[in-house]
Amino acid sequence: MAIAEPLAPHTTDALAGFGARPAYDGAGMRELAAWVDEIARLTQPDRIHWVSGSAEENAALIADMVASGTLIPLDAEKRPNSFLARSHPGDVARLESRTYICSEREEDAGPTNNWADPAQMRETLNPLFRGSMRGRTMFVVPFSMGKVGGPISQIGVQVTDSPYAVASIEIMTRVGDEVTRLIAEGADWVRTVHTVGAPLEPGQADVAWPCNDEKYIVHFPDTLEVWSFGSGYGGNAILAKKCFALRIASVLGRDQGWMAEHMLLIRVIDPAGRAYHVAAAFPSACGKTNLAMLRPTIPGWKVETLGDDITWIRPGADGRFHAINPEAGFFGVAPGTGASTNVTAVETLWGNVLFTNVALTDDGDVWWEGLTDETPAHLIDWQGQDWTPDAGRPAAHPNSRFTVAADQAPSIADDWEEAVPLDAILFGGRRATNVPLVVEAFDWEHGVFLGSTISSERTAAAEGTVGELRRDPFAMMPFCGYNMADYFGHWLDMGGKAEQLPRIFQVNWFRKGADGRFLWPGFGENSRVIDWIIRRLQGEVEAVPSAIGLLPVVADLDLDGIDVPAADLEELFEVAPTSWLAEAALTEEFYDTFGDRVPTALRAQLAALRERLESAKA
């Protein structure tokens, strides 16, 4: 097997001169090299390319994809150094049905994960991976989640035959020889293997994003491995992201005494210049990115972005929890992102962006639904077809994406790569009823209870029964690498690992009135809720005990400049005991799916909630 030559048939001369194995020595390097050779013998690539992470190498990689037709360059003036990729129509999203947790024991995966016996899964995967990189280059990508060598950082290596995946990993993580040096010196690392599963025959051109009809995204938590077959889509191919940073990292956190969470991370600065750090867990379509890039509408307040999707939390020597965003970029959903909803995100995308499955304008720029109020008269849609407003189909795929470096966001904090002390944790869902605009947990244990019950209501018959609750505790249902009941227990245990714990709040921007309209304006006005939360941390405002938690004194909310009728405010904070008792019954049903593994403390919290509701009802 050649180290860097000859070039694979589909590879241009752009990558010539790059890709040699780093000349590090040591037991760690020998172990890494042996593993790479083992994967190469299985997958049979034409060439092995060790990614150094240099700007010159990245430019050559991009040039190679442009030459092969994998990437379409955008207009250099309108969107400098930016490119469009189009996927196979059958490869456009994460595949939860094909995502597996292969723990040794099925009960350790739990009822919310797809489990398969690890030995049997390897027997399934080996024939699929055998020869799967034939005709391609196998890239070896060393990456760090968190700054290289940071106290909360973790490192890994991905081997892949997808140059698109390599370019994406280089945006989303820290890639380079510095990571390889840490491995050579003996640092622990996570092994990840990816192939699009579509070997090239001699003379075949690699002009499209390939994939395989058969797909597997498999996690081996006991050996800290990820194997992904058949998909080129970001979440299935950028294995450092959800696969490592949440599923595998959640297992590491459980075993090592820290937490890997599906949370944004922001710094909130009050008018006096005092800074507070807030992490927030929201399921999809619940305003997560908007909060990560919030522009407060009340004078004197400022929000700085630290992370938009994943947060790792560790106890610090100072008796507090400290948090980082382990990623280096944003992998955001394009549709719905526009100047009226998230101007900060739009400004972030001025250049140096890898777009996927958005539409192409006639002047060489990109467009998606929600980007502008005016729809272009003509576009090339995400499948490369002519499109007009009367086409009867979206121009951009609903899950189309942008991948961009985090430090391009105008809201990014100067020290965004550093660990910060955590002051508050927010949980939220999309709830039209029951859940108030904001409620504070009584204490850490009650806060864990709130996190375990996070859900969103289905809003249309096409999505299921209207009003039915879609459970997503801690916004981690698809991303927890082990039994979620044990995950609840880990959260409870973490409450004993710091002297000054973050305060926990639940928020709901989406409560509706009886007439179906939203009671709260949302977007930038959510800063008024953040204002109240920070003033609670400062001890400047009181809260009113209720059956479900601590509620604001409405007069303490800063509502200057917005018109929210008094009746709407009353409904925003209404706690109806009968409705909440019905919800408590649904929570018990949900807990029962985990059997006797649900922590006793959470069962006790549920019983206490029912007692408070019955008292309020009397």
pLDDT value at position 201?
A: 57
Domains and CATH numbers, the chain: 13-72+84-256 (3.40.449.10), 260-325+416-617 (3.90.228.20), 329-406 (2.170.8.10)
Own/partner long-range contacts of 599-603 (Cβ < 8 Å, ≥24 apart): 599/485, 599/488, 599/489, 599/492, 601/445, 601/448, 601/492, 602/448, 602/449, 602/452, 602/488, 602/492
pLDDT value at position 98?
A: 95
- Residues marked as binding for substrate? 94, 233-235, 284, 399-401
- CA distances (Å), 284 to each of 281, 396, 474, 475, 542, in order? 10, 18, 12, 8, 32
CB contact at 8 A, 368 and 333: no
pLDDT value at position 205?
A: 45
Amino acid in the structure at residue 117: D
- Residues marked as binding for GTP? 285-290, 401, 430, 523-526
Amino acid in the structure at residue 463: E
Residues constituting the chain: 618
- Residues marked as binding for Mn(2+)? 242, 262, 309
CA distance 561 to 16: 61
Weakly modelled stretches of the chain, pLDDT under 50: 1-11, 203-207, 459-464, 466
Q: Per the confidence metrics, is the pTM higher than 0.75? A: yes
Exposure letters 358-389 (e unless 16+ CB within 10 A, then b): bbbbeebbbbbbbbeeeebeebbbbeeeebee
pLDDT value at position 179?
A: 97
pLDDT value at position 13?
A: 66
Question: At residue 425, what are phi and psi to the nearest 5 degrees?
Answer: -125, 130
For the chain, the farthest-separated pair of C-alpha atoms sits apart, in whole angstroms, at 80
Which H helix or E strand runs over 507? strand 503-507
CB contact at 8 A, 173 and 234: no
Looking at residue 500, the DSSP 8-state letter turns out to be B
CB contact at 8 A, 208 and 222: no
Q: What is the DSSP string of 254-304?
A: HHHT-EEES-EEEEEE-TT--EEEEEEE--TTSSHHHHHT---SSTT-EEE
Strands 275-281 and 424-428: parallel
pLDDT value at position 207?
A: 40
Closest C-alpha among 287, 583, 288 to residue 435: 583
Of 211, 243, 286, 480, the active-site residue reads 286
Q: What is the DSSP string of 290-349?
A: HHHT---SSTT-EEEEEESS-EEEEE-TTSBEEEE---SEEEEE-TT-SHHHHHHHHHHT
pLDDT value at position 340?
A: 87
For the chain, how big is the Rg over CA atoms in Å? 25
Torsion from C-alpha of 569, 278, 326, 476, nearest 10 degrees: -50
- CA distances (Å), 429 to each of 280, 286, 542, in order? 11, 6, 25
Amino acid in the structure at residue 27: A
CB contact at 8 A, 81 and 349: no
Torsion from C-alpha of 450, 564, 458, 382, nearest 10 degrees: -110
Show Cβ contacts of residue 581 under 8 Å, excluding neighbours closer than 6 positions: 610, 613, 614, 617
Bond from prior residue into 389 cis (ω within 30 degrees of 0) = no
Angle at 382 between CA 377 and CA 384, to 5 degrees: 85
Side-chain half-sphere CA neighbours of 55 within 13 A:
2
Angle at 21 between CA 20 and CA 24, to 5 degrees: 135
CA distance 294 to 552: 22
- Residues marked as binding? 94, 233-235, 242, 262, 284-290, 309, 399-401, 430, 523-526
Q: What is the DSSP string of 427-480?
A: EE---SSSS-SEEE-SSHHHHHHHHHT-EEE--SGGGSSTT-EEE-GGG-TTT-
CA distance 460 to 440: 30
- CA distances (Å), 49 to each of 15, 96, 103, 612, in order? 9, 31, 32, 63
CA distance 207 to 10: 9
pLDDT value at position 16?
A: 82
DSSP bridge partners of 456: 470
pLDDT value at position 56?
A: 96
pLDDT value at position 518?
A: 96
- CA distances (Å), 605 to each of 257, 306, 450, 485, 592, in order? 24, 33, 9, 15, 15
* Residue 211 annotated to the active site: no
DSSP bridge partners of 144: 155, 174
- Residue pLDDT, tens place only, 365-377: 999 999 999 999 9
pLDDT value at position 74?
A: 98
CB contact at 8 A, 447 and 495: no
Q: Strand, coil or helix: what is 415?
A: coil
CA distance 229 to 217: 6
Q: Is 336 exposed, middle or buried (0-12, 13-18, 19+ CB in 10 A)?
A: middle
Strands 225-229 and 302-307: unpaired
Question: At residue 250, what are phi and psi to the nearest 5 degrees?
Answer: -65, -35
CA distance 108 to 486: 8
CA distance 50 to 180: 10
Question: At residue 169, what are phi and psi to the nearest 5 degrees?
Answer: -60, -35
- Residue pLDDT, tens place only, 1-44: 333 333 344 445 688 889 999 999 999 999 999 999 999 999 99
CA distance 593 to 485: 10
